[in-house]
Amino acid sequence: MNDLEFESGQFRKELEPSQMLEVLFDYVARISKEKEIDKILMLMADLGRKLIVADRCTLWLLDLVENQLWTKVAHGIPPIRIASDSGIVGYTIRENAPVIINDAYSDSRFNPDVDKKTGYRTRNIIALPVYDGNGEIIGVYQAINKMTGEQAFSQLDLKRLKLAATYSGNALASAIARQEIEDTQKDVIFTMGEAGEMRSKETGYHVKRVAEYSYILALGVGLSKSEAELLRMASPMHDIGKIAIPDAILKKPGKLDEAEFEVMKTHAAVGYQILKNSSRSILKAAATVAYEHHEKWNGKGYPRGISGEAIHIYGRITAIADVFDALGSDRVYKKAWALDKILTLFRDERGQHFDPKIVDTFFDCLDALIAIRDKFIDSHIEDEHMQSVLA
């Protein structure tokens, strides 16, 4: 409905209580199934608009880093951003209180810039803060222009919008938390990749492949999807301790002597030291993986020489993912092995280096693993770049 219809007097009606409940339950059900922030924002906007018969409704989210509010209004359109202190929405955040304004242009808090740009005429505004589970403000629910004959928002509208915010809040907060985890993960992996790039040849897609192999194996051995996802995020950090290994050893083109290998082996405990103090579950899992990815089922691994199920399942899984990838890739000290030879090693090492059950899973999942290998192929350009860096 646009302004013209509104002017011509085709007012809409308030929802009946039964209609209101129907709309509320319908949207809340859809919102709680949704994992993407963008989609939740759009659903909440729709819900708010219907519930209080507004012309427009927006759910603004606070970006504390940029001091902005942002929202998504439609698929394929980039997010809209405004300064977090601007207009009524900014006022709502500062005061941490809801606002109802029924004559926007006579209110000094209203910023008419948006109207000037769009030619829209804002009459009524209702805005209320939205909170996460800890009572922290995460955004603002804002609606514009009441479309009933009243032409004004009421306390009842505020109650209804609050209801919508309350019932959608959990889904929104967990989508935000999820996004934050993914962003952190990408940052960490990227930073690691960058740090590693100048240090060793194991860069780029190595971390990506080990992540995906670990995920497939984790599901294959029966871990839950969320644990498998945790391991997918954590396993790329298994070799982070290699940042402490001197170039002369890390980049040695030939076989390491005994003393050099002793130094190399410290990367497992060093990685653990780097990661162990975090309380974030991803980094905790990463610490375990860094510490235990070179342990062997038969107890002949390092750094602690623990065996069997004393090695955390994450360590046992990542060990297979890492060796599968290391053998299939060129390294400064060796060429990639043919698949046959790799599979023979896994058969030979079943119950020796590796957990026999996970080796069985490895063979069961082989097609999926090879599909990942063929999808993330290290390019020759990168190879040549590496060679020149290493030369």
The footprint of ligand SIN on residues 89-118 (CB under 6 A) is 89, 110-111, 114-115
Which range touches ligand SIN (CB under 6 A), out of 176-184, 203-211, 256-264, 326-334? 203-211
Is residue 24 a contact point for ligand SIN (CB under 6 A)?
Answer: no
Give least dist CB 327 to Fe ion, A. Answer: 11
Among 39, 304, 312, 357, binds ligand SIN (CB under 6 A): 312
Q: Which residues contact residue 230 at a Cβ distance below 8 angstroms, ignoring those fewer than 6 apart?
A: 281, 282, 285
Is 198:389 a contact under the CB 8 Å cutoff? yes
C-beta closer to Fe ion: residue 98 or 328: 328
C-beta closer to ligand C2E: residue 138 or 327: 327
C-beta closer to Fe ion: residue 185 or 318: 318
C-beta closer to ligand C2E: residue 225 or 331: 331
C-beta closer to ligand C2E: residue 335 or 380: 335
Give contact residues for ligand C2E (rule: CB under 6 A).
202, 252, 255-256, 264, 294, 322-323, 326-327, 331-334
Among 47, 69, 88, 320, binds ligand SIN (CB under 6 A): 88
> How far does Cα 67 stand from its chain's mean position?
21
Q: For residues 256 and 265, what is the distance between their CA atoms, to the nearest angstrom?
A: 11
Give least dist CB 32 to ligand SIN, A. Answer: 28
Q: Which of 72, 242, 300, 341 is catalytic?
A: 242
**Of ligand SIN, Fe ion, ligand C2E, none, which one does residue 114 interact with (CB within 5 to 8 Å by kind)?**
ligand SIN
Cβ atoms within 10 A of the Cβ of 183, count?
10
Number of amino acids touching ligand SIN (CB under 6 A): 17
Give contact residues for Fe ion (rule: CB under 5 A).
239, 322
Give least dist CB 181 to ligand SIN, A. Answer: 18
Catalytic-residue membership of 35: no
The footprint of ligand SIN on residues 120-149 (CB under 6 A) is 122
Is residue 204 a contact point for ligand SIN (CB under 6 A)?
Answer: yes
The count of residues in the chain is 391
Is residue 3 a contact point for ligand SIN (CB under 6 A)?
Answer: no
Q: Interface with ligand SIN by CB under 6 A: which residues? A: 87-89, 110-111, 114-115, 122, 193, 204-205, 207-208, 309, 312-313, 382
Q: Which residues are catalytic?
A: 242
